[in-house]
A and B are shown apart, each in its own frame.
Chain A
Amino acid sequence: MAWIKAFGSYLPQRVVPNAELEALAGVEPGWIVKASGIEERRFAADGETVVDLALRAAQDCLAAAEMEPSQLGMLILASGSAERQFPGPAASLAHRLGLSSAPALDLPVASAGSLIAMSLASRLADAHGHILVVGAEIVSRVVLRPPVDRDTVILFGDGAGACLISPDAGLARILDYVLYTDGSFADSLRLDYRQPLAMDGRTVILQAARKIPRAIQELLKRNSRSASEVQSFILHQANLNLILKVAQALQVSESKFCATVRRHGNTSSASMLLAAAECWRDEALQPGLPVVFGAFGAGFHWGALLALPA
């Protein structure tokens, strides 16, 4: 298995506090924090694209790794909010990075896209060398499409996260992962062409609250680890209440869960890598104690990844 060499992130400049959305959503002051734990999020500027955000996160990640784009053997970009049907943003990101031959693949998977991309990259790194994984989203333009839905407009924000997966040394060695898909719930969270985001929140929460802990437990068990040994859980930042539900199910202190959703909102496939970039920078992660990544989203796709800091 490969290594996580570095993380990177980018958030658009415009901060959107809850007060700005509470009137739009027709909810009382304080309702958004209670329902989601979110205090603010970022919205991309007019004209800013998914590729623009992805490029900034990619550059931040490469700078952290002290590497040049020319050293990349592959690029995988996860996004559920790309501006056009094809080609996807991966090719444009590769071009903006100055790459002209390395394969650049799109993973049009919202929310769990970055986790899937990291997992696949961990298997492909031996063959392709350094693989840049990016999750980039401009979900604000989707949730602001009329008619505005109270339950989605309050949740989502824009941003990009990146992670460099390398065949040799790095911050942490990837030990294992589990990935799952259950398409019977595909209609429960979906984005149809030119339509607003459609989300059956109760179904999403009911399924996620069970599937995320179960995936993490299965991953830990088959690697002879326990949840209590894990020093940090870095999950897709869907909703603070869901993260707390996962902590409760795993019987682990909430303090072990990286929670950037308060300030970022739910940035879909970008959120887990955005959280990783911040928490890896801010927390003194100890060598030898496991870190667990996890995500759940539209599809439903979900899974978990186990890494061991060096």
Chain B
Amino acid sequence: MERRAKILEIVRGISKRDANPAPDQSLFESGIVDSFALPDMVAALEREFSISIPDSDLMPRKFETIERIEAYIQGRL
């Protein structure tokens, strides 16, 4: 499965909604990922892509849209 599709799957799993956000759509403002789902989403990304996200990178804006998540993960691989 391509990376973006895996990210979308994680977002849908975390939000428990069949959401289909545009790549540049805010997951927060759209209500797809709320504040307390965000830590779960980050943990799921770490597991799925076998990466460790340091605390210094735990900034919501890095995970606000599908394309930002994708860019961040690309940079960590």
For the complex formed, measure the closest distance between the CB of B23 and the CB atoms of chain A, giving whole angstroms. Answer: 20
Question: Which chain A residues border B60 with CB–CB below 8 Å?
Answer: 200, 202-203, 206
Interface residues of B in 57-77 (CB under 8 A from A): 58-60
For the complex formed, measure the closest distance between the CB of A155 and the CB atoms of chain B, giving whole angstroms. Answer: 12
Q: Flag whether A283 is at the interface (Cβ < 8 A).
A: no
Cα distance, A26 to B38, chains bound together (Å): 24
Majority DSSP secondary structure for residues of A touching B:
helix
Q: Flag whether A13 is at the interface (Cβ < 8 A).
A: no
A-B contacts counted at CB < 8 A amount to 33
Chain A interface size range: 10 to 19
Question: Contact between A184 and B58 (Cβ–Cβ < 8 Å)?
Answer: no
Number of interface residues, chain B, beta carbon within 8 A: 11
Q: Flag whether B35 is at the interface (Cβ < 8 A).
A: yes
Q: Flag whether A123 is at the interface (Cβ < 8 A).
A: no
Majority DSSP secondary structure for residues of B touching A:
helix
Question: Contact between A206 and B42 (Cβ–Cβ < 8 Å)?
Answer: yes
Q: Flag whether A190 is at the interface (Cβ < 8 A).
A: no
**A202-B28, A202-B60, A203-B60 known; A210-B38 Cβ under 8 A:** no
**A241-B36, A245-B36, A245-B39 known; A203-B55 Cβ under 8 A:** no
Q: CB < 8 Å: which of A201, A207, A242, A245 contacts B58?
A: A207
Cα distance, A207 to B42, chains bound together (Å): 11
Cα distance, A209 to B58, chains bound together (Å): 11
Question: Which chain A residues border B39 with CB–CB below 8 Å?
Answer: 205-206, 209-210, 245
Interface residues of A in 179-226 (CB under 8 A from B): 182, 184, 200-203, 205-207, 209-211
Question: Which chain B residues border A207 with CB–CB below 8 Å?
Answer: 55, 58
Q: Flag whether B56 is at the interface (Cβ < 8 A).
A: yes
Question: Which chain B residues border A206 with CB–CB below 8 Å?
Answer: 38-39, 42, 58-60
Cα distance, A242 to B58, chains bound together (Å): 16
Question: Contact between B36 and A203 (Cβ–Cβ < 8 Å)?
Answer: no
**A202-B28, A202-B60, A203-B60 known; A211-B55 Cβ under 8 A:** yes
Question: Which chain A residues border B36 with CB–CB below 8 Å?
Answer: 205, 209, 241-242, 245
For the complex formed, measure the closest distance between the CB of A244 and the CB atoms of chain B, giving whole angstroms. Answer: 8
**B39-64 near A? 1/0 per residue, CB < 8 Å:** 10010000000000001101110000
Interface residues of B in 1-55 (CB under 8 A from A): 28, 35-36, 38-39, 42, 55
Question: Contact between A210 and B35 (Cβ–Cβ < 8 Å)?
Answer: no
Question: Contact between A184 and B42 (Cβ–Cβ < 8 Å)?
Answer: no
Question: Contact between A205 and B55 (Cβ–Cβ < 8 Å)?
Answer: no
Cα distance, A247 to B60, chains bound together (Å): 22
Interface residue ranges, B against A (CB under 8 Å): 28, 35-36, 38-39, 42, 55-56, 58-60
Instruction: Write 15 A-B pairs (CB below 8 A) sorted by A numbering.
Output: A182-B55, A200-B60, A202-B38, A203-B59, A203-B60, A205-B35, A205-B39, A206-B59, A206-B60, A207-B55, A207-B58, A211-B55, A241-B36, A245-B36, A245-B39
Further contacts, 9 of them, CB under 8 A, given A184-B56, A202-B38, A210-B55: A202-B60, A203-B60, A205-B35, A206-B59, A207-B58, A209-B36, A209-B39, A241-B36, A242-B36
Interface residue ranges, A against B (CB under 8 Å): 182, 184, 200-203, 205-207, 209-211, 241-242, 245
